[in-house]
Amino acid sequence: MTSPVSYELVDDIGVISVANPPVNALSHAVRQGIHDALAAAQQDASKAVLVICEGRTFIAGADITEFGKPPREPHLPDLCNTIEASSKPVVAAIHGTALGGGLEVALSCHYRCAVPAAKVGLPEVKLGLLPGAGGTQRLPRLIGATPALDMMTSGNPVDAARAASLGLIDQLVDGDLRTAALAWCRELAAKDAPRRKTSELTADSVAEGVLEQYRSTIAKRARGQVAPQKIVDCVEASLTRPFAEGLQIEREKFIECMQSPQSAALRHMFFAEREAAKIQGLSKDSPQRDVNKVGIIGGGTMGSGIAMNFANAGMQVVLLEINDEALARGLAIIDRNYKGGVKRGKLSEDQALACRGRIAGATDYQSLSDADLVIEAVFENLDLKKEVFAKLDATCRQGAILATNTSYQDVDSIAAATKRPRDVIGLHFFSPAHIMKLLEVVRASATADDVLATCMALAKKIRKVPVVSGVCYGFIGNRMLGHYAREAQLCVIEGATPEQVDGAMEDWGMAMGPLAVFDLAGLDVGYKARQGLPEAERGDPRAYRVADALVEMNRLGQKTGAGFYRYDPETRQRSSDPEVQALIEREAAALGVERRELEASEIVDRLLFALVNEGMNILDEGIAQRPGDIDVVYVYGYGFPAWRGGPMHYADAVGLAQVHERIREFERRFGSENWTPAPLLERLASAGMTLADWAKSQVN
Ligand code: 3H9
């Protein structure tokens, strides 16, 4: 087998070239190749050694697919030490992204240059890990503990200019990287430049209390997560211990992280997100349609947010409203959002102006006649949506993609309102649409393959994470949420306070408890959705008694200052409300429910296993392509903690037999109407299989 690493002498410079597409990950073969090339360079006539990569990027890190497999020598930390110990100066030439182990390789080199468009970072924390090849020891020594902590605990890369200002990059080079890097190597060799070993530097000490400050900020920002705290421990070692000892500490903590369920969950999410972009039965290079001009119907909070996504990606947008007044309101929301973005430093004033300039307003359907994609974002009413689609059918050019942003409605019936159902698709954005990453792409029964492929590619262009869903009430996310919401509210009726329910879920890791989320979204949203359904399809009526009563009292949530909680008008801080507690007790008494104490563990299991059970049905019905897709929906759309890996990964981590047993117990206690184990769960639990095994068996 040919090595992904080649070595050649170019005049008197030894050039180690890595070619391991797509991202030059440090597989065993790459580590071995660099190791062998470096050994050759020690023996030949080279005066300096250059490490450079082919393809789109410098080394983007350790090969994540090798994690969990038996480790093979040369190990990366040893390879980094070998690079640093080279008898000849070693220069890293960076383009694309030098990430994780890739940056650790560069940190072990004696000099680093980069193209201005390059980015460098240590993103291990996003995989529940810490830099494990000397990064925690070398980076603080090179650039100081504070910027190193910022980079490592956030995992966010910095651009080349910032890296240069930090002293992480020595030279920014214009033009061809290889040519410039070779010239620099010759220059260094000619002046017999020293081999600068990062490990021999002393990290500047930090002011007292700085590390503690990081620990307490991280405890809030990365609540429940282990890796970022261990990164602070390692940086502390870099300040107080000799390099070799620090390396040892890093190794121990890296292994602890690697074996942790948190890292398993985050690594699962890394691959699940990428897998979700792939559509079963559709090849990677399926034909796509051109989309340059996008029409949005409805300038409410949702439509305005959706419009911004496309304008931000450089596309022309027309926002359509029913009259000038409504249009002015929609455009004002957009102006406000852009202003907010500038204030928060998300984009510059010029960028905001340019994006805003791409959004035009209109009140006449004719202005959508040349749009390539139209997204309807009007009220959640099936008849109204059908009316809109009939108009679009009459107005839009042939070949235009017609999308609905419905959260619940039947996309097949919406498509049937047109004579071109092949062009109709669901694009379900999440609020606030210009910020939330998730996009459910709803494939209706007639949706053409090229329409689906176009929308998946577009999602990436507008920086969303797309997940394909089949047609059903609520699609993947909201259909499951119905069951989670039911249990949250039944727990309240049975005896828990809203604070106990939300507190249990937030302590477990959810970004926000369910009742606080309903208050944020507006209790009228669920109310209206329920009213639109026949009574038999509204679910357990006991669950919604309190929410319905709150809406009827005009307590709609945050927007009216009160819902399940009361909200401070200034800070939006929630506080409990005795009036709500009295209402809950009245409703429980009216239902004949004898209230009791509920343990946090019961609340957590009921809410999460309600999600899992419905997720199993969704998989069995083929609504979601794979368990990982459901996890992506929940992590990116519903505040599910990534370090728990999404509900389906969590079920695997708990053990499907145990989940099944607990659901059976709930069935005995609470009745089979809400708690019947999903057939897929029954099958997998009795076969002793995991969902991950099942997903693999479905592909083969
Ligand atoms: C580490 O380094 C630990 C060390 O400190 C210590 C070790 C001892 N490995 O994202 P894309 C695949 S931890 C294996 O769509 P983009 C990816 O699955 C690592 N595979 O491209 C996908 O495969 P497919 C620290 C990887 O252009 C394909 O490459 N490094 C890896 O949007 C394309 O990926 C990181 O965490 C990998 N490391 O973004 C960096 N990376 O086509 C992780 C990617 O089959 N990677 N693949 O679906 C990234 O952030 C992005 O991939 C990157 C490119 C920005 C590089």
Q: pLDDT tens, 247-303?
A: 999 999 999 999 999 999 999 999 999 999 999 888 888 899 999 999 999 999 999
Relative to the CA of 76, which ligand 1 atom is closest? 8
Please tell me the residue having the least CA distance from ligand 1 atom 50. 60
CB 110 within 8 A of CB 89: yes
b/e map 253-264, b = 16+ CB within 10 Å: bbeebbebebbb
Q: Which atom of ligand 1 is nearest to the CA of 131?
A: 5
CA 650 / ligand 1 centre spacing (Å):
23
Distance 24 CA to ligand 1 centre (A): 9
Across-strand partners of 441?
427, 468
Of 498, 562, 510, 543, which Cα lies nearest the Cα of 671? Answer: 543
Tokens representing 163 are: 């890296």
In this structure, how many other beta carbons lie within 10 angstroms of the beta carbon of residue 594? 8
For 360, the token pair is: 């035009």
Nearest CA to ligand 1 atom 55: 97
Instruction: List CB contacts of 487: < 8 A, sequence separation 6 or more.
Output: 543, 606, 607, 610, 674
- Supply the pLDDT for residue 400: 98
CA of residue 60 to ligand 1 center, whole Å: 6
CA 275 to ligand 1: nearest atom: 48
The residue contributing the CA closest to ligand 1 atom 44 is 23
Cα–Cα distance measured from residue 320 to residue 303, given in angstroms and rounded to the nearest whole number: 9
Overall average pLDDT of the 93-110 stretch: 98
Distance 23 CA to ligand 1 centre (A): 6
User: For 349-356, what is the mean pLDDT?
Assistant: 97
In terms of Cα–Cα distance, which of 110, 336, 285 is closest to 201?
Answer: 110
Supply the pLDDT for residue 535.
Answer: 85
Q: Rounded to the nearest whole angstrom, what is the distance from the C-alpha of residue 241 to the centroid of ligand 1?
A: 32
Edge-first strand order for the sheet with 5-10 is 5-10, 13-18, 48-53, 90-94, 111-114, 171-172
pLDDT at 528: 87
Six token digits for residue 382? 């099936």
The residue whose C-alpha atom lies closest to atom 15 belonging to ligand 1 is 274
pLDDT of 193-207, one tens digit each? 999 999 999 988 899
Our mutation pick for probing the ligand 1 site, out of 64, 136, 283, 437, counting the most ligand atoms within 8 A of Cβ, is 64
CB atoms within 10 A of CB 413: 15
How many angstroms does the Cα of residue 476 sit away from the middle of ligand 1? 27
pLDDT tier for residue 700 given thresholds of 50, 70 and 90: low
| Distance from the alpha carbon of residue 154 to the mean position of ligand 1, in angstroms | 17
Q: How far is the CA of 53 from the centre of ligand 1 (A)?
A: 15
Res 1: pLDDT: 73
Smallest CA separation from ligand 1 atom 16, residue: 23
Helix (H) or strand (E) holding 226: none
Q: Which residues, including other chains, have CB under 8 Å from residue 423's CB and lie 6 or more apart?
A: 399, 400, 401, 402, 448, 451
User: CA torsion 36→41→44→48, rounded to 10°?
Assistant: 170
Name the percent of the chain lying above pLDDT 70: 100
Q: State which ligand 1 atom lies nearest to the alpha carbon of 123.
A: 36
Task: Note if the pTM is more than 0.85.
Answer: yes
**195 DSSP assignment:** -
Q: Sorting pLDDT into bands at 50, 70 and 90, what band is 135?
A: very high
CA of 263 to the centre of ligand 1 (A): 15
Degrees to nearest 5, angle at CA 344 with 518 and 638? 25
Q: Whose CA is nearest to atom 33 of ligand 1?
A: 22
- The mean per-residue pLDDT over the stretch 446-469 comes to 97
Q: Following DSSP, what letter does each residue of 340-402 receive, concatenated?
A: HHHHTTSS-HHHHHHHHHTEEEESSGGGGTT-SEEEE---S-HHHHHHHHHHHHHHSPTT-EE
Active site positions, annotated: 104, 124
* Closest protein CA for atom 28 of ligand 1: 22
- Our mutation pick for probing the ligand 1 site, out of 23, 75, 136, counting the most ligand atoms within 8 A of Cβ, is 23
Which residues make beta-bridge pairs with 92? 51, 112
Closest ligand 1 atom, CA of 270?
18
Order of strands across the sheet with 119-121? 97-99, 119-121, 158-159
**Cα distance between the two ends of the chain:** 27
Report the nearest atom of ligand 1 relative to the CA of 99. 30
Mean pLDDT of 5-22: 97
* pLDDT on residue 204: 87
Find out whether the peptide bond into 116 is cis, omega within 30 degrees of 0.
Answer: no
The Cα 108–Cα 89 span in angstroms is: 11
Q: 546: closest CA among 496, 605, 614, 601?
A: 496
Give me the mean pLDDT over the 554-581 stretch: 95
Choose among 98, 93, 85: nearest CA to 38. 85
Q: List all residues whose CB is within 6 A of at least one atom of ligand 1.
A: 22-23, 25, 60-65, 76, 97, 99-101, 104, 123-124, 127, 129, 131-133, 135, 274
Amino acid letter at 29?
A
Give pLDDT tens digits for 518-550: 999 899 988 988 888 888 888 898 999 999 999
What tokens were used for 134? 């000397």
Protein residue whose Cα sits closest to atom 49 of ligand 1: 60
Q: Take residue 565 and report the two structure tokens written for it.
A: 């909680």
Residues 194 and 282: their CA atoms lie apart, in Å, by 55
Minimal CA–CA distance to 11: which of 183, 222, 267? 183
Task: Return d(Cα 461, Cα 274) in angstroms, integer.
Answer: 14
Distance 612 CA to ligand 1 centre (A): 29
Task: Please give the number of the atom of ligand 1 that sits closest to the Cα of 64.
Answer: 9
Strands 5-10 and 465-469: unpaired
* Helices H / strands E in the chain, number of each: 29, 19
Measured from the CA of 274, which atom of ligand 1 is nearest? 48
Structure confidence at residue 499 (pLDDT): 98
User: Burial, 684: exposed, middle or buried (Cβ in 10 Å; 0-12, 13-18, 19+)?
Assistant: buried
Q: What is the mean pLDDT of residues 304-322?
A: 97
The CA distance from 39 to 19, in Å, is: 19
Residue with CA nearest ligand 1 atom 27: 23
Ligand 1 centroid distance, CA of 623 (Å): 28
Picking from 407, 603, 437, the residue whose alpha carbon sits closest to that of residue 510 is 603
Q: What residues does 255 pair with on adjacent strands? A: none
Helix (H) or strand (E) holding 658: helix 656-670
Residue nearest to atom 7 of ligand 1 (CA): 132
